[in-house]
Chain A
Amino acid sequence: MEHKTKVHERIYVALMMLFFYLPILYVVLFSFNASRSLSKFTGFSIEWYEKMFADRMIMSAIGYTVLCAVLATIISTIVGTITAIGLSKNRRIIRESINQVNNLPMLNPDIVTAIGFMLFFTSLRIQTGFFTMLLAHIAFCIPYVILSVMPKIRSLDPNIAEAALDLGCTPLQALWKVIIPQIKEGIISGALVAFTMSFDDFVISLFTTGPGVSNISIYVYGAIKRVNPTINALSALIVYVITIVLIVINVVPMIKERRREKNEQNFEKSIS
């Protein structure tokens, strides 16, 4: 169905993109505003960035967010991958029931999952804080990891592990040297999903964290009541980081490709 995009279609897509990017541009612009106003741009300043870096609450929120996302990603990726491999070797009924259970946090509204955790932790008299927040993050990330690793495992040759064992691998070696390399893509995309889920999470963190521990979302939620342009600076910072990360992810392979081509040309020159 590939064909040339018509003019009215281009306009429509352009309007859509404007809708998507307008608020982001707005935040970046007003993060440089000289005054507190959120509607009048009075002049350029980096005051709000200075204030942001000086604000210990913001810095600790960033720290908690990153720490929690990194730990949750590592743990949920390992557990999720191992579980997915185990699942593929189990009977259908077990697979189905685990999938059903995994669907609970994925299909339930976040707020329901969140109050579940809150009730659970407080009933067990566990002091809420960073640890409970991390546990909750791990719990909701694992199903996503399983979900992205599973299809890769399913497309594996079912005899691949047997072949490895036949050639003298121990089960652990078979796992590490044969199975894991083949499902690497699924594991990486699972880890990426887990990281973003954890990094962006608000609702579950709000209900499972304790006094003094906030992530970025909770900080923004708390600070919204007052007009506070440091949030603009914080938001803009997030935009910068994500833009840079995405550019690196998308451009680096391109540069590598170019360099490879260049090298090949040089190589050809050197032998001819």
Chain B
Amino acid sequence: MKGFNRLIYPYIVWAIIMIILPMLMIVLYAFTVKGNDVLTFQFTLENFVRFFKDPIFPGVLWRSLKVAFITTAICILLGYPCAYIFAKMKPNNQAVMVLLVTLPMWINVLVRTYAWRGLLSYVELSSEVRVYVGMVYNFLPFMILQVYTALSKIDPALITAAHDLGANDTNTFLKVILPLSLSGVVSGITLVFLPAVSSFFIPKFLGGGQYLLIGNLIEDYFIQTGDWNFGSAISLIMAIIILISMYIMRKLDREPKEAEVN
């Protein structure tokens, strides 16, 4: 189909302006001094030095990573068994369960987090635990759905084959089902860990301002303080850390390469 290939030209222009340029702006701001005009840049590493020399900031970064890590771990521990139970149900019930898990996700994230604020007012909990509850609540459905998808894609013949080759239920799970569902766990991790690191309204709503994460820092520097250069530097540091962790995840996921479609 000659001619159809030209259909992408408008989008290329759009993508350069609306996706690539904004990203470059962050890099540009992170490496320049505050009060720049668009045409006169003064490059500096000062923003990064300031971040790592600060008594609080590296700790906040570390805390964000810790919160995201623990949230992800809890989501796997709670979500995997749930997805596994779903995958074993009758097809009709599976569809109902998936719908039930998806349904709350349709309701605005802030609204759901707001609801937890009211609910948690009944119990005495540290702000840290409250943040965990909010995080797990928001991200658990992603984990369940990803793992469920991976599990339901497993060819039932493989399980029959494992039984045929002498594996009992436990062995079949450990040697066949678990390894084959790991790809779902990995994509679940990306869907949980990533937004958890950068989340800023969950700690704000549920942590009551006591338990700040790196997302809150970025928001502060952009909305309250107005120091965009420093804010950009923090975002860049976060983005790089996320990029590295994603890279590690991809390496860990030794999913068999799919045969090329084309």
Known contacts A142-B11, A242-B103; A221/B201 CB under 8 A: yes
Residue pair A87, B90 in contact (C-beta under 8 Å): no
Shortest CB distance B31–A (Å): 13
Within 8 A of B (CB), among A80-95: 82-83, 85-87, 89-90, 92, 94
B194 interface residue, CB < 8 Å from A? yes
Q: Is the interface of A mostly helix, strand, loop or mixed?
A: helix
Known: A111-B235, A207-B222. A89 touches B108 (CB 8 A): no
Given B15, B21, B205, which contacts A224 in the complex, CB threshold below 8 Å?
B205
Per the bound structure, the CA–CA distance linking A104 and B14 in Å amounts to 14
With known contacts A13-B82, A20-B104, A120-B21, A83–B109 Cβ distance under 8 A: no
Query: Across the interface, which residues of B come within 8 angstroms of A5, CB to CB?
Result: 85, 88-89, 93
Residue interface bits B75-116, CB-to-A below 8 A is 1, else 0: 000100110011111110100010111011011111110111
Is A262 engaged at the interface, CB distance under 8 Å to the other chain? no
A22 with B194, Cβ < 8 A, contacts A171-B4, A246-B103 known: no
The stretch of A49-57, A182-190, A231-239, A263-271 in contact with B is: A231-239
Q: Which B residues are CB-close (under 8 A) to A221?
A: 110, 201
Contact with A along B209-220 (1 / 0, CB 8 A): 000000100110
Contacts of A102 in B (CB 8 A): 15, 19
Is B25's CB within 8 Å of the partner chain A?
Answer: yes
Q: In the complex the two chains form, is B101's CB within 8 Å of A238's CB? A: no
A212 CA to B23 CA in the complex, in Å?
27
Q: State whether the Cβ of B10 lies closer than 8 Å to any Cβ in chain A.
A: yes
| Cβ contacts under 8 Å, B97 to chain A | 13
On whether A101 and B20 interact (CB within 8 A), knowing A9-B85, A87-B8, A89-B4, the answer reads yes
Check A250 against B99 for contact (C-beta < 8 Å).
yes
B188 within 8 A of A: no
Query: How many residues of chain A get a CB closer than 8 Å to chain B's CBs?
Result: 82
Q: Are A239 and B18 in contact (CB under 8 A)?
A: no
B233 CB, nearest partner CB in chain A, Å: 11
Interface assignment of B261: CB less than 8 Å from any CB of chain A: yes
Q: Judge whether B106 and A242 touch: CB under 8 Å.
A: yes
- Contact indicator per residue, chain B 1-42, by CB within 8 Å of chain A (1) or not (0): 101111111111011001111110110010000000010000
Contacting residues, chain B, for A196 (C-beta < 8 A):
106
Q: Are B26 and A116 in contact (CB under 8 A)?
A: yes
In the complex, whether A133 has a CB less than 8 A from a CB of chain B is no
Instruction: Show 10 A/B contacts (Cβ-Cβ < 8 Å), sorted by A.
Output: A2-B88, A2-B91, A83-B11, A98-B8, A108-B242, A120-B25, A202-B110, A217-B109, A235-B108, A238-B111
